[in-house]
């Protein structure tokens, strides 16, 4: 079953008065539970594609469906519950709220949803990723790897159907990066979540079920990997 589909996505920005085509007629479909990697060099359009697929930005042309719902023309108010309940985000720079401790950061999306068991769910996730002793620590008191583990917990707390991860290991050393990727994949399989991950790292791409490659905003290659 498809949980994500895009048809003929194009994104054009105006920079210094000139149109710049960052994404050019990209179409794809992603199945439930799939681990898809989007790779390409810097400036190839990877992060732009992720922003369009997740509803963080709107395409110049083309359409996006999430859970068979066309999200292309939805308003910010209409997109907000979709982002909070159906989609989880993991970013390179963590995006934790500085004034909230680790537990509160993880609880935040569940509290927005009105989840009564938000604290219990957050504590369970913290224990699952080995951060139970760091729940009261604020982001500035956590290492890079700990921040990313907290960010993964925050992305998972509402049990989203899709997780979008934009270079999630980019700010980490290779050992921490592999540990975070392993954790993300374990949790993805446990929850049956679809994972769409942007990277330029060939080692990470080699662990995906399917890889698509962008070059100058165009989809130039696609490869399925053995499970």
Q: What would the pLDDT profile of 53-80 be if each residue is shown by its tens digit?
A: 999 999 999 999 999 899 999 999 999 8
- Report the pLDDT value the prediction gives residue 162, as an integer from 0 to 100: 94
Residue labelled with tokens 């707390």: 157
Question: Which residues lie below 8 Å from residue 160, measured CB to CB, with a gap of 6+?
Answer: 85, 86, 87, 88, 193
The pLDDT of residue 172 is 84
pLDDT at 154: 93
Check residue 227 and give its pLDDT.
46
* Domains detected in the chain: 33-51+74-224 (3.40.50.300)
CA-CA distance, 12 to 142, in Å (whole number)?
38
List the chain residues with pLDDT less than 50. Answer: 227
Cβ partners under 8 Å of residue 40, min gap 6: 46, 200, 213, 214, 215
Tokens 């709220």 correspond to 97
Per-residue model confidence (pLDDT) at position 192: 87
Identify the burial level of 212 via C-beta atoms within 10 angstroms of its C-beta, where 0-12 means exposed, 13-18 middle and 19 or more buried.
Answer: buried
Of 110, 148, 146, 129, nearest in space to 187 by CA: 129
pLDDT digits (tens, 9 = 90+) for 96-120: 999 999 999 999 999 988 989 999 9
pLDDT for the residue numbered 48: 94
Number of H helices, E strands in the chain: 7, 10
CA distance 183 to 48: 25
Closest C-alpha among 102, 170, 175 to residue 140: 102
């Amino acid at each position: 079953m498809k949980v994500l589909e895009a048809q003929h996505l194009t994104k054009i920005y105006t920079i210094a008065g000139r149109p710049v085509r960052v994404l050019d007629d990209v179409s794809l479909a992603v199945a439930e539970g799939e681990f898809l990697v989007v790779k390409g060099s810097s400036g190839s359009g990877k992060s732009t594609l992720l922003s369009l697929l997740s509803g963080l930005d709107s395409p110049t042309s083309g359409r996006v469906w999430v859970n068979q719902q066309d999200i292309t023309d939805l308003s910010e108010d209409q997109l907000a519950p979709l982002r909070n309940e159906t989609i989880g985000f993991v970013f390179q720079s963590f995006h934790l709220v500085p004034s909230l401790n680790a537990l509160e950061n993880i609880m935040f999306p569940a509290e927005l949803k009105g989840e009564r068991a938000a604290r219990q769910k957050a504590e369970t996730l913290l224990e699952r990723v080995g951060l139970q002793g760091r729940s009261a620590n604020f982001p500035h008191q956590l290492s890079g790897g700990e921040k990313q583990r907290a960010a993964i917990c925050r992305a998972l707390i509402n049990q989203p159907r899709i997780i979008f991860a934009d270079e999630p290991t980019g700010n980490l050393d290779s050992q921490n990066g592999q540990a975070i990727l392993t954790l993300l994949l374990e949790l993805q399989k446990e929850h049956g979540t679809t994972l769409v991950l942007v990277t330029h790292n060939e080692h990470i791409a080699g662990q995906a079920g399917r890889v698509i490659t962008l070059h100058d905003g165009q989809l130039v290659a696609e490869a399925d990997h053995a499970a």
